[in-house]
Amino acid sequence: MGRAEPLARNEAGIATAVASLKQLFEDRLQTGRSIREQHGHTTTWLENQPPDAVAFPETTEEVAEIVRICAAHKVPVIAFGVGSSLEGHVNAPAGGISVDFSRMNRILAVHPEDLDVVVQPGVTREDLNVHLRDKGLFFPIDPGANASLGGMAATRASGTNAVRYGTMKDNILALEAVMPDGTIIRTAQRAKKTSAGYDLTRLLVGSEGTLGLITEITLRLQGIPEAISAARCSFPSLDAACQAAMMTIQYGIPVARMELMDRLAVRAVNLHSKLDLHEEPLLLLEFHGSDAGVAEQAESFGAISEDVGGSGFEWTTSTEERNRLWKARHDFYWASLELRPGSTAVATDACVPISRLAECVTRAAAKAEELGILSPVVGHVGDGNFHMSPLIDRDDPVQLEKAEAYIDWLANLAISMDGTCTGEHGVGQGKKSFLTTEIGAALPYMKAIKAALDPDNIMNPGKVLPD
């Protein structure tokens, strides 16, 4: 369990801060073991390191008050959205206060004419999209889980349609944040673009709560497209599937989603969902645009696929048929677990230049087989990002060790291909050690920024930056 080592605790400070906060927050400060454990890491294989207390603020001013108290006593502060992060981001290796944003879940202002919305960090992406639907608008970033928008901002999340709409860094106009000294700042106003000073918005996005707590987010929105089409095609090899994906991007087809599943992933959904897909690499696509546009785009993809040996090409604009075509992808997570009943899927998140993708996925699948690890693949292939999902029994130390070795090997493979060990999951505790290889010369400057803004290292200590 090397990825989640405990850190030294400031027992006296923690006791004082918890007592002060209890007075202020009363039953909105919880210290029961079960709730504390729910606020440590609960996903994947990393150890659970619960905080000492969980606070439920309702306003930015209350968040600032928590930070000021923790700053005064040098006590860790850890932001918590819904806890769906995968790399131990919410763990409390030195103890401290978890700040649960679930009560800061108001949509503060929708500006349809400006295509933006101002939300509190506890709003989830599904709640936001339900709220926006009757205005003809939507927020496109979809990491799979119904994550909180604050958490998605803090981890620089993306997901299936980043290929068209970008990641969280591309879809945030401005933030309000509580800085490590308890000061409330705004990083920008609401204009679509600005060149007014250092980009604190992008510095906080992806900083995983180590530089400040995000208390308000101004997000860019999109109009719900007039039409959506979906397409699906099988390929004789991963290489052919990746070729089709590359050509689709290069031809400028504005694909909204483009997901890859490997043979094993297809087999898993065939078994789980009683489908009869060819057990070959599969691409699933979605297009957004006008009626004529989405038809043209799907057909252009069909022509590309045919050129590289694709088969079983189908496309549709009907909602029901779209759901049928995409069922394989939607059912993947549960289907994959059934490949090995009782197993846990370990998260990996390699992202490489798309020209290297076929080779990277092929080698990753071969290595898993060599180690005897069952590991289906899904990928956001337009971005060169894919997730091997090694299925292991967490209680078996031999398997844990193998999985850890595999994750290390894969991270280093991606880095050696000019890619990253973490395309969209963030660093947390799990990926810290790889940053030295990936961007080592830049780390002292990241550490200098951290030290300048948070000299007592109270904001989510033990995350992002390796020692």
Tell whether residue 222 is a contact of its own copies (CB under 8 A): yes
**Contacts with its own copies: how many residues (CB under 8 A)?**
99
| Closest distance to its own copies from the beta carbon of 419 (Å) | 4
Residue 435 binds its own copies, judged by CB under 8 A:
yes
Q: Could you tell me whether strands 53-55 and 97-100 are parallel, antiparallel, or unpaired per DSSP bridges?
A: parallel
Instruction: Report if residue 217 touches its own copies, rule: CB under 8 A.
Output: no
442 binds its own copies (CB under 8 A): yes
Strands, E assignment, 124-247 = 137-138, 172-178, 184-186, 213-220, 222-223, 227-234
Please identify which residue in 189, 311, 318, 323 interacts with its own copies, judged by CB under 8 A: 189
Radius of gyration of the chain (CA): 22
Question: Of 290, 311, 318, 319, which one interacts with its own copies (CB under 8 A)?
Answer: 290
304 belongs to the binding site for its own copies (CB under 8 A) = no
User: Cα–Cα distance between 276 and 262 in angstroms, integer?
Assistant: 15
Minimum CB separation of residue 3 from its own copies in Å reads 16
Which of 11, 61, 126, 226: binder of its own copies (CB under 8 A)?
226
Span of 7-15, 57-65, 314-322, 418-426 interacting with its own copies by CB under 8 A: 418-426
Pick from 59, 146, 183, 311 the residue near its own copies by CB under 8 A: 183
Regarding 205 and contact with its own copies (CB under 8 A), the answer is: yes
Which member of 37, 47, 58, 114 binds its own copies (CB under 8 A)? 114
Beta carbon of residue 328, minimum distance to its own copies (angstroms, whole number): 24
Is there binding between residue 108 and its own copies (CB under 8 A)?
A: no
- How far is the C-alpha of 136 from the C-alpha of 134, rounded, in Å? 5
DSSP per-residue string spanning 239-289 = HHHHHHHHHHHHTT--EEEEEEE-HHHHHHHHHHHT----SS-EEEEEEEE
Q: What angle do CA 144, 146, 150 make, to 5 degrees?
A: 110
Q: Using CB under 8 A, pick the residue from 116, 142, 280, 404 that binds its own copies.
A: 116
- 37 part of the interface to its own copies, by CB under 8 A: no
Which one among 7, 72, 249, 400 touches its own copies, defined by CB under 8 A? 249
**Is 116 strand, coil or helix?**
strand
In the complex with its own copies, which residue's Cβ is closer, 93 or 206?
A: 206
Show contacts with its own copies in window 312-351 (CB under 8 A). 349, 351
- 355 contributes a contact to its own copies by CB under 8 A: yes
Note the residue count of the chain.
467
CA distance 124 to 147: 5
The angle subtended at Cα 80 by Cα 78 and Cα 83, nearest 5°, is 125
Applying CB under 8 A, among 5, 353, 366, 405 the residue interacting with its own copies is 353
CB count within 10 Å of CB 202 equals 16
Six-digit token string for 178: 């509580």
Q: DSSP 3-state helix, strand, coil percentages of the chain (rounded to 5)? A: 45, 20, 40
